[in-house]
Structure 1
Amino acid sequence: MTEPWGGVQAGMLLVATPALQDPNFADTVVLLLDVDDNGALGVVLNRPSGVPVAEVLAGWADAVAEPDVLFHGGPVSTEGALAVALLRSDDDVPVGFREVSGLLGIVDLDTPTELVDGSLSGLRIFAGYAGWGVDQLEGEIREGSWYVVPGEAADIFRDDPTGLIRDVLRRQPGELAWHSTRPADPDLN
């Protein structure tokens, strides 16, 4: 994994700002899974669907964190699925696991579940993903569409992702934390 631009790297979060114009990402928090010289790939953490994992990937239903539904990972390849997982320990890395950052990684959903059973402390499955060319994401960050902040495992596997933006911003240093209390429409303030 390289760090091609501005310190943005896998494992970090992109938090949508009010300046973001793309409706696909309004009010979202995106976990970056891959950042390299070709661009970036991530998944939206706070858009659960109403589709139970058991309906689509029955073998993985018992392995996912609550809520046990698919999450809308982004507008790219929405017919495909991507699994983000957290290892219990770096001493027990199962077949089919690819590290993203520390104990956080991606699990190949073609891996038999019995090969990962007991190795993971969290798993979430996303339908689709978000992707950017290197110049595209750099431009969106420069224009103020995204706050780039450190991520934590708890951000990915929380039971209720509705307050994720507020909680992520609240823990940031300085003025960025103030944005956690920003009204949805400042004109109504």
Structure 2
Amino acid sequence: MSEVSSLTGRLLVATPALTDPNFERAVVLLLDHDEQGSLGVVLNRPTPVHVGDVLEPWAALAGAPGVVFQGGPVSLDAALGVAIVPGAAGNGSTGAASAAAPPGAQGASPLGWRRVHGAIGLLDLDAPPEVLAAELGFLRIFVGYAGWGPGQLEEEVAEGAWYVVDSEPGDVSSPDPERLWRAVLRRQRGALALVATYPDDPTLN
């Protein structure tokens, strides 16, 4: 079962063969992946809506460009906060030991933040922003998410719909998300980096 869980915190990068408009050229951060299914957010779908228009208390903490992102086609009336907490990067535990750590302890997870991978975690948007403000290195707000049932994502990867690659904190905080698809591919080794040069319209190639 560890093989199933190992994709949490990694990126799904849409292959050129994936033409579903919800995921064409998408870069998805997997927030949860186990035998019960998968959940993630699309990192490169900014909307014109400013965070202050929907979650005013968090507007001052939201990173550039300061807009809400469409995290996927599921539950578009729900918001998720993905936040980077630099001091928590070295803590691999999300259990009781982490929750019991005193505030300010090295690697401790702040209240209202659940580590997903490294310094990246999910923020409780019902928590008071002032409690978390000093801990956050970056915050991005998403509406909706991407979801897959048991085994569904594995099938899509096997069919060639997604590349699975390592994530970096800079992917979540990219100030130029429209270029993220090419940027993530370009940093890969070997033939995968060449996919970054794939034209938007292959008929023009």
State the TM-score, normalized to the length of structure 2.
0.87
Counterpart among 56, 67, 70 of residue 69 in structure 1: 67
Which whole-Å CA distance do the structure 1 matches of 2:51 and 2:176 have between them?
Answer: 16
Deviation at 1:19, TM superposition (A): 1.4
Paired residue secondary structure (2:170)? helix
Who is 1:123 aligned against? 139
Who is 1:84 aligned against? 82
Who is 2:110 aligned against? 94
Point out the more displaced range, 120-129 or 15-24: 15-24
Who is 1:24 aligned against? 22
Deviation at 1:154, TM superposition (A): 0.5
Check the 8 A contact 1:93/1:119 in 2, yes or no. Answer: no
State the TM-score, normalized to the length of structure 1.
0.94
Which deviations, in whole Å up to 9, do the C-alpha atoms of 1:37-83 show, x marking residues without a partner?
Answer: 11110000001000000011000001111011100000000001000
Which whole-Å CA distance do the structure 1 matches of 2:58 and 2:16 have between them?
Answer: 36
Check the 8 A contact 1:50/1:69 in 2, yes or no. Answer: yes
Check the 8 A contact 1:3/1:35 in 2, yes or no. Answer: no
Counterpart among 124, 129, 151 of residue 113 in structure 1: 129
Q: Which runs of 5+ in 2 are unaligned?
A: 89-105
Provide the identity percentage.
53
Point out the more displaced range, 130-139 or 85-94: 85-94
Deviation at 1:157, TM superposition (A): 0.5
Count of residue correspondences = 187
Q: Which is strand-richer, 1 or 2?
A: 1
User: Counterpart of 1:26 in structure 2: which amino acid?
Assistant: E
Which whole-Å CA distance do the structure 2 matches of 1:31 and 1:146 have between them?
Answer: 12
User: Counterpart of 1:138 in structure 2: which amino acid?
Assistant: E
Which deviations, in whole Å up to 9, do the C-alpha atoms of 1:71-106 show, x marking residues without a partner?
Answer: 000000000100000103023532111110111100
Taking only aligned residues, the RMSD between alpha carbons, in angstroms, comes to: 1.3
Deviation at 1:8, TM superposition (A): 4.8
